[in-house]
Structure 1
Amino acid sequence: MRLGCAWLALGLLLHANLFLDLGQAANILGIFPYRLPSPFQMVRPLVQALVGRGHKVTMITPVGLPADIEGVRHIRVPMLNTLMQDLIDSDQFLELLGNKWREGVLTATIFSNVSHAILNDTGVRRMMSDKSERFDMILLEASHLDALYGLAEFYNASLVGVSCVNINWNIDYLAGNPAPSVYEPISPMGFALDYSLISRWNNWIYITEEKMLERLVFRPAQAKVSKKFFGYSAEKLSELRSRFSVILINSHFSMGRVRSNVPNIIEVGGLHLSEPSEPCSEELLRFMDEAEHGVIYFSMGLDILVKYLPDNMENKLLQTFAQLKQRVIWKNELSMLPNKPDNIYVIKKAPQRQLLAHPNVRLFISHGGLQSVMEGIDSGVPMLGLPVFFDQFNNLHRVQLAGMAEVLDTNALDADALASAITKMVENPSYAKKAKEMSKSFKDRPMSPLETAIWWTEYALRNRDVTHMRLNAEEIPLIRYYRLDSVITFATRFGFIFGSVIFLAWRLYQKNRSRQRRLWERQRTFMQIQMPMNTYESDS
């Protein structure tokens, strides 16, 4: 009898736990319009983990990216593919890195077209018109896709952001973290990386221009899309920008950039490392194992093809690698290279994490993509950077300041400079030592990046109101926000002291001048008296 009661109690307990788990399961809508494979390296493990925890996930993405994820309902938007291809084929693509305002107008148009393509897609419209559809959370890239924030209001859902690149001032504002001391640009091209007074002044102008572009170009373009599909006013759109509960950023303080964040900015750098790495082939392993002087691994990432590199760069690289005593593994979509030396192994698709983990790898030559930099840090391998565009310069600059990397100018690259830099980094043990130290710090966390991301995502589900985690600049008086009260107080004190010193100095100068004048007048009077007396004596 007691045994039967025990089994009954256990059954009821399991049933209760099952009911509790089902009750906690949420409907999540993820919107990721990326047309490059690298950002999905961060998104995919997060979505898979959410599905594994019982959440129902729907993803709106381009056709083909990412590959179908088991347990996820995919809504593919073909127009996203068309928009990107049209951009690449157009002459405007080359102008993107030109004048900032022209760049801003073109980029705003791209984002506006992306938002319009998603909200106008047949599958998305069918989903929105289905009265039985409900979502507890909207998960999307925290970028200039403001019109899509309207889905959070449409479904009365939590709004959670993901940033697959480094954080910038716009993400700070979306998270309620508008601290002037931590501002970083959206587009880092032309943004000074040093901290001189002139550079800081120029950077302030740079950020101010970006804010003007955001206010005058980006927001109005998104407001038109929002008005068309939701009927929301520009004021409503501004209100939705403050609805972000949590923003997961692909960064970590151990990577060389410590910043002040409000609690809802969550650093999950390295989240993609939770996925199993691809194995190396036996031939590749043998090539590395037999490398007497070590191995150098060279890759420009998933998104940059060798054929797009500057003119003659491929020949310069080949010429340099042929001179090295180390063996070189070159990730290159052109699997057949003419006149390839025996010390070079060309591979079209490289198992990068396994390569970097091999004990014979001495140096990682990289374009500086954020994922690649993290993998280099995680493996403790020194890096030689060849940045090409966007955030790659800043990513490499940080690890260079930390002491585990050097950076070369890709446009002014020559074989001698490249060979000299490689020799210096391979033979100087300080780079490897610093890389190991950064790797240890990068891995030393209370929870893994994926566990951290899941916990905070579900926190946003449990806590719809997260105003206590945000700093709303609009609620803070201008004088207090910029600490003008302290500045005015300091300026008043300094001005009083400085004025008093000037006043006392002036009085002392006046007093000394008066004394000198009196002495001079006395001397003149005495000389006038002496002259008649001398005249009288001479006459006598």
Structure 2
Amino acid sequence: MSKGMAALLAALAFLSLWPAGSDSSRILVVPVDGSHWINMAAILKELHSRGHQLTVLHSPNSWYIPTNGSFYTSVTATMLEDGNKKDFYNQVLLDVIKVRQYAGFLRTFYQQGLITDMLARGHKILAEAATAMIDDPVFMKKLREAKFDLMLTDPGLTVGVLLGNYLKLPMVFNVRWMNNGESHFAMAPSPLSYVPVSGSELHDQMDFQGRLKNMLHYIYSLIEFYFYINAAYADLFQRHFPPKTDLLTLERAADIWLVRSDFVFELPRPTMPNVVYIGGFQCEKARPLPADLDAFVRSSGEHGVVVMSLGTLVSALPRDVTEAIAGAFAQIPQKVIWRIKGEKPSSLGNNTLVVDWLPQKDLLGHPKTPAFVAHGGTNGMYEAIYHGFPVLGLPLLFDQFDNLLRLKVRGAARVLEANSLTKEGFLEALRDILDNPTYRDNMRRLSRLHHDRPMPPLETAIFWIEYVTRHKGASHLRPVAYSLPWYSYFCLDVVLFITAVVVAFVWASVAFCKAICCRRFGRKMKRE
């Protein structure tokens, strides 16, 4: 037995002896590492403050998830060890930058091809990890004996989905992206005429070419899901789940989908009764800055400070790109705080402070921050909306291209391509964001809309998690559409039946008319 499994068994044994209060629930949590953990941790801290007992299952070499959590019992188990290397994502980034040189219609397909290879590899590793857990009778016995009331998971990784279904636990998803696209495509009607497929880089105002591209991306996504992603779990499904089980069926078994979206940011589209929108729930008012950063920000005077961060997932940008950005920063009157990994550019100006880490929420909420240069990650976009500052976008991977497009069409952002970035182009776009009040006004309008809601999104999330634990599920909110075969869902059997009736009626009518005509013609011939 591995050390991780031994630690898990010890933690579960301890948990089974912990008496639960009347309002306390035992929640098994399977998160996703990286920036996703920031979202999950916000929910877990609030659940812990309300007396719930949390057990977090994570990999032993997690980037962000502490082994010794102050608000949860930490349990380690191998999940995505071989596929969770930052060097791997850095290489994917460089490959994506290359394919971005292709024509606009084709490059999204080339880019998705790179992502398909990554997804196939990752889901194979996840399937093996889930199989090892389920095949371990001691491990599964301890999970059952812990008597969890709920599975809370981010289905961006599938281990929580598989364990939750296997243990027959009520499930709540903290979700935006899953499998190979945006979560709505897994659980809500998605008319391709105005709902863009993830990765297509389209908005809801599509001409014929846009709809054609959207349809092709949808067909590609089906091939990607069934032949690359779902196929990785075929053996696991065959051995441990009922016949005809697939990944989509297990995901649709979730009682509540806490979707990290807000229609201030997301494009309007159909939804479902078990979907709750909590976009921006991790955002909060800015706190005082550390002394050194506060002194730097105050020294910027009336011009303020531009904040730049490209997230936590990748740390490698081509040298010419970082030099172009540094050279452009050196020519603006504002000061700059730039989170950068690796070697510092030689063209850095005296106005630029390079750091390994920055308090992004607190800097974006500072009154001296006029703009945010970002890669387009969901957390950063909602923090920019929350505080009302426009964005200069430099998308690199995954959903970042679509995220920035949503702000661009709302007039709150400009977007540049890393593969064609020049010092002059970056400087022109940066000055436009800083000097043109339209971007700031549009973002502040989005911010007002985002804040105008009946209750804070974090409280909404907690309510629905506790709702599921109180009622031991929320199956009454799951639509029957999830259990219908595709031909019944689209009423193709009804259409076929009606078509057959109409054809039969027309054929019978024509045959009857022919018979009458032939009979009359025959009588006439006899008289002649």
Query: Match of 1:522?
Result: none
For each residue in 1:91-118, what CA deviation from the matched residue of structure 2 results, as whole angstroms up to 9, or x when unmatched? 8897788575675355133113123224
> 1:259 Cα shift?
2.4
Query: Does residue 433 of structure 2 align to residue 425 of structure 1?
Result: yes
Give the whole-Å Cα distance in 1 for the aligned partners of 2:53 and 2:490.
Answer: 41
Query: Match of 2:276?
Result: 266
Query: Match of 1:217?
Result: 228
Query: Match of 2:129?
Result: 117
Query: Does residue 29 of structure 2 align to residue 30 of structure 1?
Result: yes
Supply the AA of the counterpart residue of 1:282. Answer: A
Change beyond 3 A, Cα 1:119–1:448: farther
> 1:448 Cα shift?
1.2
Query: Match of 2:152?
Result: 139
Q: Is the 8 A contact 1:77 1:118 kept in 2?
A: no
Give the whole-Å Cα distance in 1 for the aligned partners of 2:438 and 2:379.
Answer: 23
Partner SS state of residue 355, structure 1:
helix
For each residue in 1:268-322, what CA deviation from the matched residue of structure 2 results, as whole angstroms up to 9, or x when unmatched? 1112225x766423332232223332322222122232xx112411111111111
> 1:122 Cα shift?
10
Query: Does residue 219 of structure 2 align to residue 208 of structure 1?
Result: yes
**% identical aligned pairs:** 23
Supply the AA of the counterpart residue of 2:26. Answer: N
Give the whole-Å Cα distance in 1 for the aligned partners of 2:429 and 2:310.
Answer: 17
CA RMSD of aligned residues (A): 3.5
Q: Is the 8 A contact 1:370 1:392 kept in 2?
A: yes
> 1:66 Cα shift?
0.7
Give the whole-Å Cα distance in 2 for the aligned partners of 1:368 and 1:263.
Answer: 29
Q: Is the 8 A contact 2:304 2:335 kept in 1?
A: yes
Query: Match of 2:209?
Result: 198
Supply the AA of the counterpart residue of 1:30. Answer: V
Change beyond 3 A, Cα 1:272–1:89: closer
Partner SS state of residue 47, structure 1:
helix
For each residue in 1:398-448, what CA deviation from the matched residue of structure 2 results, as whole angstroms up to 9, or x when unmatched? 111111111111211111111111222222111111111111111122111
> 1:325 Cα shift?
1.8
Change beyond 3 A, Cα 1:482–1:319: farther
> 1:202 Cα shift?
1.7
Q: Is the 8 A contact 1:301 1:367 kept in 2?
A: yes
Supply the AA of the counterpart residue of 2:324. Answer: K
Query: Match of 2:237?
Result: 226
For each residue in 1:121-158, what CA deviation from the matched residue of structure 2 results, as whole angstroms up to 9, or x when unmatched? 5997643123522222122223472x753433443311
Change beyond 3 A, Cα 1:137–1:206: same
Q: Which has the higher helix share?
A: 1
Change beyond 3 A, Cα 1:432–1:90: closer
Q: Is the 8 A contact 2:130 2:163 kept in 1?
A: no
> 1:381 Cα shift?
0.7
Q: Within 5 Å, which residues of 2 pair with 1:204-353?
A: 204-228=215-239, 230=240, 232-235=242-245, 239-274=249-284, 279-290=288-299, 291-305=301-315, 308-334=316-342, 338=346, 340-353=348-361
Q: Is the 8 A contact 1:75 1:124 kept in 2?
A: no
Change beyond 3 A, Cα 1:169–1:349: closer
Change beyond 3 A, Cα 1:442–1:70: same
Query: Match of 1:157?
Result: 169
Q: Which runs of 5+ in 1 are unaligned?
A: 1-19, 490-540
Q: Is the 8 A contact 1:32 1:140 kept in 2?
A: yes
Change beyond 3 A, Cα 1:322–1:236: closer
Query: Match of 1:178?
Result: 189
Q: Give the alignment's TM-score, normalised by structure 2.
A: 0.77
Change beyond 3 A, Cα 1:283–1:123: farther
Supply the AA of the counterpart residue of 1:137. Answer: L
Q: Is the 8 A contact 1:159 1:244 kept in 2?
A: yes
Give the whole-Å Cα distance in 1 for the aligned partners of 2:35 and 2:189.
Answer: 28
Q: Is the 8 A contact 1:376 1:383 kept in 2?
A: yes
Supply the AA of the counterpart residue of 1:76. Answer: T
Q: Is the 8 A contact 1:178 1:471 kept in 2?
A: no
Query: Match of 1:107?
Result: 119
> 1:225 Cα shift?
2.3
> 1:480 Cα shift?
7.4
Query: Match of 1:85?
Result: 85
Supply the AA of the counterpart residue of 1:160. Answer: V
For each residue in 1:215-267, what CA deviation from the matched residue of structure 2 results, as whole angstroms up to 9, or x when unmatched? 23322321312344x35433376653431111111111112522221121111
Q: Give the alignment's TM-score, normalised by structure 1.
A: 0.75
Supply the AA of the counterpart residue of 1:345. Answer: L
Partner SS state of residue 38, structure 2:
helix
Q: Is the 8 A contact 1:191 1:206 kept in 2?
A: no
Give the whole-Å Cα distance in 1 for the aligned partners of 2:92 and 2:181.
Answer: 26
More displaced stretch, 207-216 vs 367-376: 207-216
Give the whole-Å Cα distance in 2 for the aligned partners of 1:99 and 1:172.
Answer: 21
Give the whole-Å Cα distance in 2 for the aligned partners of 1:425 and 1:94.
Answer: 27
Query: Match of 2:42?
Result: 45
Query: Match of 2:75?
Result: 75
Give the whole-Å Cα distance in 2 for the aligned partners of 1:439 and 1:93.
Answer: 31
> 1:454 Cα shift?
0.7
Partner SS state of residue 115, structure 1:
helix
Q: Within 5 Å, which residues of 2 pair with 1:360-375?
A: 360-375=368-383
Partner SS state of residue 255, structure 1:
coil
Change beyond 3 A, Cα 1:440–1:485: farther
Partner SS state of residue 372, structure 2:
strand
Q: Is the 8 A contact 1:178 1:473 kept in 2?
A: no
Partner SS state of residue 81, structure 1:
coil
Query: Does residue 409 of structure 2 align to residue 396 of structure 1?
Result: no
Q: Which runs of 5+ in 2 are unaligned?
A: 1-18, 100-109, 499-528
Change beyond 3 A, Cα 1:373–1:157: same
Partner SS state of residue 346, structure 1:
strand
